[in-house]
Chains A and B, each alone.
Chain A
Amino acid sequence: MNTVTDPSEPPTGDGGGRGQRSTARVEDPALLCGRGRFLDDLDPLPGTLTAAIVRSPHPHARLRSVHLERARAHPGVAAVIGPEEVTAALHPFPLSLKTPMPYYPTATDKTRFVGEPVAVVVASDRYVAEDAAELVEVDYEPLPAVVDTDKALDPGAPKLHEQAEGNVATDRTFHFGPVDETFDRADRVVTAEYEFPRYSSTPMECYSVVAEWHDEVDGPAITAWANFHGPFSMVPVLAGALGVPTSRVRLHVPADNGGSFGIKAGIYPYVALLALASRHAGRPVRWTEDRIEHLLASSAGSDRSMRFEAAVSDDGRIEALRADLVDNVGAYLRPPEPSTLYRCFGNITGAYRIGAVQIRSRAVVSNKTPTGLNRGFGGQQLYFGLERLIDTIAHARGIDAAELRRRNFVQADEFPYSTPTGGIYDSGDYPQAFEKVLENADYTALRQRQREARERGEYFGIGMASVVDPSATNIGYVGLATPAENRPPGRGKSGSTEHVRVSVDLNGVVSVLLGTVPQGQGHATVAQQIVAEQLGLQRDQVRPVVEMDTATTPWTVSSGSYSSRFAPLLTSALVEAAERLAVTVRLAGATMLDADPEELELADGRVRVRDDPERAVAFRHAAGLVHWDPGSLPEGASARLYEEAAFTPPESKAANQNDQINSSLCYGFVAELVVCRIEPDTREITLEHVSTVHDPGTILNETLLEGQIHGALAHAIGGALYEEMRYSESGQPTSATFMDYLCPTAAETTYALDSDHVQTPSPVTRLGAKGSGEGSSMSLPVAIANAVSDALAPHGIEITSLPLHGNVIHQLLTEEIPATEGIH
């Protein structure tokens, strides 16, 4: 590792210097000592009962009848609800589109995927609930199922939603720039088709909900605890199903959340379902998802079929691009889908200067589990196509893959760079970062080693990826799924605001209330560090409190922990709030020092005169004065030592009438290079080396950045080499346990890695920081595919899908190599 600092180093405590930026996490002692408090450790509502969920064993079946009587009569059962209770009390969840594909938290007329909830049993404990769940009698009429994307597109395919025209939930085509003209006069057109698989992130803690329904005089109100982390745009979706305004849903999120990586965004339908179960039980209800339920029916990134065409000049410049993207979103268009298609809209041309783009974006429903957020959201799918395409073009033009990238990069002096689709790349130096990864990996020597290895008949591959890493989503991109003429003026969507509250107590201790609902990222550590730096305090004088209670914590529709929002947005809000607090503290200090507040600065835990630092009072004394003796403040001054800030970047605007949108606030960069070998006999793939260079803008905390990079790389290795949510043709999941759904473990994620950085600070965030938790989740899957493809290139084999492992390589090589060559 080039830049990792030993996390065991003691903090230097210099009150704001760089020494704080590689400290151990304040979250860790409790977690490491087993004192984490996850929702299953909490008992927030006395008298809570336990639920078990009856799920469909059929991928597609009509519900002839659902009989709940026997289950209701089982000893220990408080309530059993099914489709009848659900449709009587709930509305379908409001979708992002008008497509008539009604989505409820249970099946109502039909079941559309294996694992879809059909009924809920509430009982004294989970054992009794599962016993009674077996007594729910469902008469299913099985229907033909469809899981394959291409087959689901076929007009003759089994139709999932009767009211809809077919299985295509959305189909939009966008043109930016002179696409057809450029293709018509292109020197060369390169075409390629790819399939990206469906996989998850398998958080250690599964979904967990405690919910209570109150019927109040003026309507129902819901109190719920859930390990939900956003996007909080799902709160109005939840409230919509319950038929109440968002303020009547009080949602608490525990401070400790055992990972999500986006997957837990899919929990909100269960909050509605368990709230309704509580209404029938007359008691609060708890449901803890088990691993079988999680793998069967929670969420995953969408699988995508894609076709790309590139208009390429003789010297390898990509002049125009056509992309045809089809996301298989599973049985329902569960919000926030179809956002996988649009999250990367503004950066769909990646790191390259491509002037004209045509995009066809389709989402198709099928008899699989609904999809949603998964670390890298939309990026791993997009870049698998785009970065494989770059290598395909390089191969077709006989240009080295690194050289082809160089010729197409947006250059350092072009920032802010406007993409044809509306993205405004805030900062970057792609050539610098890319050359750094080549240099760190010793690219020239690697190619030499490859030539030698090939002479010995070995499989040796070098693959790279260079991707733009978007962060701080502008929720306005959701609007793109609706044609511009149907987007009413004055009802636009935009924004990526982030809210925070900071206060100072009577002892001068600063509390930071974090409503960012982290899932283990270390938000508290960085928030503490930044507020300490801003106010010139020791870290231990700042107390971060992680709490989300939608009734008391500042939040809005764009809140939540997703799209790497913390580093660019929350830290900006912290700076704003701290600046306002500093004004009040300086005013108190000025009173005590009989000085002009403008002369004062906060440093070393003191308020001091900038030009005469010996003239100073302690921060805590100044703060104490505001609390104890506000009468001494100048007339008209406010004795306010709490500040809320809502960082509101003006760059996040709604989509314009030409369908352009700046879909994220910030755009970082990742350059990655992978060296792999394929064992000739067993055909197993080994990662020999991974080099990665990230540009996250200003680095806030190197330890946490490295942690994010390691995690994203491990996630990507899962998707590239091990994990896939597979279904049989008849619609049965065939990877529904950890015996078949293979997550990489420590043994599979131990490989030679060098990680390095460049920093081009963002001009649109207060500290210059960008998000960086997802970059390698987007880049490494395709870098591995490019490396494996490169290893097999002498045999004329191209990789067009994932995951890759011995069995896949065997199949590819067996098709290519005559049997006589057989075994080495």
Chain B
Amino acid sequence: MKAAPFAYVRPTRLEDAVNELAGSDGGGKVLAGGQSLVPVLAMRLARPEKLVDITTVEGLDQLRSTGDSLEVAAMVRQRRVEHDRATDSVPLLRMALPWVGHRELRSRGTVCGSLAHADPAAEIPAVAACLNARITLTSPRGTRQVPAREFFTGAMTTALGSEDILTAIRFPVATDGEGFGFAEIARRHGDFALAGVAVRVAVSGERVREATLTAFGVSDRPVTRDVSTELASAVSASGQDGVRLAARLPEPLADIAQGMVDTDGDAHGSRDYRRRLFVTLSGRELAKAHDRALRGINGDNP
């Protein structure tokens, strides 16, 4: 478990980092927190010619609110986001972060690194997709923004080009009338999920305005569905009663599961079992998110 030879650069300016990556003719790889890349290198499953270490690039350690969004730059570690007060403005992100690996991994791992790695069972990509956060890519030709739902194109595959550095992500800040939910089931605490859901519900008064459901661990990428209709009809049938709502949701969700959960499954979870987990979790979290939206509370999971 020793990496094959590679060249290593550690620029301090973004412009240099971009040029180093672009100058490697597709043989370069960006190193940030290293929690996924380094084991892959050690197992010689990846053999980049050049590693562009961005840990010392000026300006990439910013975590800041910009009015309607929370911007997390490329070198911001997950654990910092988990504990920074600024994250209060994006409750779904706060709910999801404790589920990312273990504390030790979050101390090194970055939010943007998780997005670039794009494991289909990872939490942060699901949060980004659910909120349709905007991802900033920087190349020698400048920067561009890609909506998260378009960013993930397959298993461990994204819209990142060989000359792109994922420099930041902007999560939309929650507004009044929004409620969120997040849950996952894994064999062990800290493992990638067998199935997980990120949920956003928006209400106007008592009316369901919008409901978004993102599932992860169940397909080759995070999958997002608008479930406004399903939630609205379940709400009206259950007469605003949370317990009855949770009991009503599984039926429409079971139909949705047929389409959203398309993984082949493995020894840890068959496709059918993952569908069951998806239905269970999304029913519970939709009901919770709806309740939170109505009550204007988005604290930790009760």
Task: Please list the residues of chain A having a beta carbon within 8 angstroms of any beta carbon in chain B.
Answer: 126-127, 130-131, 290-292, 681-684, 722, 724, 726, 734-735, 739-740, 742, 744-745, 747-748, 805-807, 810-811, 814, 822-823
Given the known inter-chain contacts A811-B270, A822-B254, please indicate yes or no for A722 contacting B279, CB distance below 8 A: no
Q: Assess whether B190 is in contact with A747, with CB atoms less than 8 Å apart.
A: yes
Given the known inter-chain contacts A722-B188, A806-B269, A807-B273, please indicate yes or no for A126 contacting B2, CB distance below 8 A: yes
**How distant is the Cα of A742 from the Cα of B190 in the complex, in angstroms?**
11
Q: Assess whether B187 is in contact with A742, with CB atoms less than 8 Å apart.
A: yes
Q: Assess whether A127 is in contact with B2, with CB atoms less than 8 Å apart.
A: yes
Q: Assess whether B188 is in contact with A292, with CB atoms less than 8 Å apart.
A: no
How near does chain B come to A56, taking the closest CB pair, in angstroms? 17
Q: Assess whether B185 is in contact with A684, with CB atoms less than 8 Å apart.
A: yes
**How distant is the Cα of A682 from the Cα of B183 in the complex, in angstroms?**
12
Q: Assess whether B267 is in contact with A726, with CB atoms less than 8 Å apart.
A: yes
Q: B1 at interface (Cβ–Cβ under 8 A)? A: yes
Listed by A's residue number, 6 A-B pairs whose Cβ atoms lie within 8 Å are: A130-B44, A131-B4, A742-B188, A806-B269, A823-B250, A823-B254
Q: Assess whether A810 is in contact with B276, with CB atoms less than 8 Å apart.
A: yes
Q: Assess whether B280 is in contact with A681, with CB atoms less than 8 Å apart.
A: yes
B59: chain A residues within 8 A (beta carbon): none
Q: Assess whether A742 is in contact with B191, with CB atoms less than 8 Å apart.
A: yes
Interchain pairs with CB closer than 8 A, number = 73
A683: chain B residues within 8 A (beta carbon): 273, 276
- B272 partner, pick from A126, A290, A292, A814, beta carbons under 8 A: A814
Q: B189 at interface (Cβ–Cβ under 8 A)? A: yes
Q: Assess whether B276 is in contact with A823, with CB atoms less than 8 Å apart.
A: yes
Q: Assess whether B273 is in contact with A806, with CB atoms less than 8 Å apart.
A: yes
Interface residues of B in 88-124 (CB under 8 A from A): none
**How distant is the Cα of A810 from the Cα of B265 in the complex, in angstroms?**
13
Q: Which 5 A-B pairs have the closest CB atoms?
A: A747-B189, A290-B1, A681-B280, A810-B273, A127-B2
**How distant is the Cα of A810 from the Cα of B185 in the complex, in angstroms?**
14
A681: chain B residues within 8 A (beta carbon): 276, 280
How near does chain A come to B188, taking the closest CB pair, in angstroms? 6
Nearest CB to that of A130 among chain B residues?
Answer: B2
B192: chain A residues within 8 A (beta carbon): 739
How near does chain A come to B112, taking the closest CB pair, in angstroms? 22
How near does chain B come to A267, taking the closest CB pair, in angstroms? 18
How near does chain A come to B237, taking the closest CB pair, in angstroms? 17
B276: chain A residues within 8 A (beta carbon): 681-683, 810, 823
Classify the interface of chain B: helix, strand, loop or mixed: loop
Q: B277 at interface (Cβ–Cβ under 8 A)? A: yes
**How distant is the Cα of A739 from the Cα of B39 in the complex, in angstroms?**
12
Q: B43 at interface (Cβ–Cβ under 8 A)? A: yes
Given the known inter-chain contacts A127-B2, A292-B43, please indicate yes or no for A806 contacting B185, CB distance below 8 A: yes
Interface 0/1 of B32-67, CB less than 8 Å to A: 000000000001100000000000000000000000
B5: chain A residues within 8 A (beta carbon): 127, 131
**How distant is the Cα of A811 from the Cα of B277 in the complex, in angstroms?**
13
Interface residues of B in 161-181 (CB under 8 A from A): none
- B188 partner, pick from A127, A747, A822, beta carbons under 8 A: A747
Q: Assess whether A682 is in contact with B187, with CB atoms less than 8 Å apart.
A: no
Q: Assess whether B189 is in contact with A748, with CB atoms less than 8 Å apart.
A: yes
Q: Assess whether B187 is in contact with A811, with CB atoms less than 8 Å apart.
A: no
Q: Assess whether A807 is in contact with B270, with CB atoms less than 8 Å apart.
A: yes
Nearest CB to that of A126 among chain B residues?
Answer: B2
Q: B268 at interface (Cβ–Cβ under 8 A)? A: yes
Interface 0/1 of B270-284, CB less than 8 Å to A: 101100110110000
**How distant is the Cα of A166 from the Cα of B107 in the complex, in angstroms?**
54
**How distant is the Cα of A807 from the Cα of B187 in the complex, in angstroms?**
9
Interface 0/1 of B191-232, CB less than 8 Å to A: 110100000000000000000000000000000000000000
Q: Assess whether B187 is in contact with A291, with CB atoms less than 8 Å apart.
A: no
Given the known inter-chain contacts A742-B187, A745-B189, please indicate yes or no for A807 contacting B268, CB distance below 8 A: yes
Q: Assess whether B4 is in contact with A734, with CB atoms less than 8 Å apart.
A: no
Nearest CB to that of A721 among chain B residues?
Answer: B187
- A722 partner, pick from B185, B187, B273, beta carbons under 8 A: B187
How near does chain B come to A737, taking the closest CB pair, in angstroms? 8
Given the known inter-chain contacts A131-B5, A290-B1, A810-B273, please indicate yes or no for A682 contacting B191, CB distance below 8 A: no
A747: chain B residues within 8 A (beta carbon): 188-190
B44: chain A residues within 8 A (beta carbon): 130
Nearest CB to that of A743 among chain B residues?
Answer: B188
Q: Assess whether B2 is in contact with A682, with CB atoms less than 8 Å apart.
A: no
Interface 0/1 of B257-272, CB less than 8 Å to A: 0000000001111101
Q: Assess whether B280 is in contact with A823, with CB atoms less than 8 Å apart.
A: yes
Q: Assess whether B188 is in contact with A823, with CB atoms less than 8 Å apart.
A: no
**How distant is the Cα of A290 from the Cα of B42 in the complex, in angstroms?**
11
Q: Assess whether A744 is in contact with B273, with CB atoms less than 8 Å apart.
A: no
**How distant is the Cα of A291 from the Cα of B2 in the complex, in angstroms?**
12
Q: Assess whether B279 is in contact with A823, with CB atoms less than 8 Å apart.
A: yes
B272: chain A residues within 8 A (beta carbon): 810, 814
Nearest CB to that of A750 among chain B residues?
Answer: B189
Nearest CB to that of B5 among chain A residues?
Answer: A131
Q: Assess whether A682 is in contact with B185, with CB atoms less than 8 Å apart.
A: yes
How near does chain A come to B230, taking the closest CB pair, in angstroms? 15
Most chain A CB atoms below 10 A, which of B266, B267, B279: B267
How near does chain A come to B257, taking the closest CB pair, in angstroms? 10
B189: chain A residues within 8 A (beta carbon): 745, 747-748
A807: chain B residues within 8 A (beta carbon): 194, 267-270, 273
Q: Assess whether B273 is in contact with A745, with CB atoms less than 8 Å apart.
A: no
A127: chain B residues within 8 A (beta carbon): 2-3, 5
**How distant is the Cα of A292 from the Cα of B187 in the complex, in angstroms?**
21
- A748 partner, pick from B188, B250, B266, beta carbons under 8 A: B188
How near does chain B come to A673, taking the closest CB pair, in angstroms? 25
Q: Assess whether A805 is in contact with B1, with CB atoms less than 8 Å apart.
A: no
**How distant is the Cα of A681 from the Cα of B278 in the complex, in angstroms?**
10
**How distant is the Cα of A822 from the Cα of B253 in the complex, in angstroms?**
13
Q: Assess whether B267 is in contact with A734, with CB atoms less than 8 Å apart.
A: yes
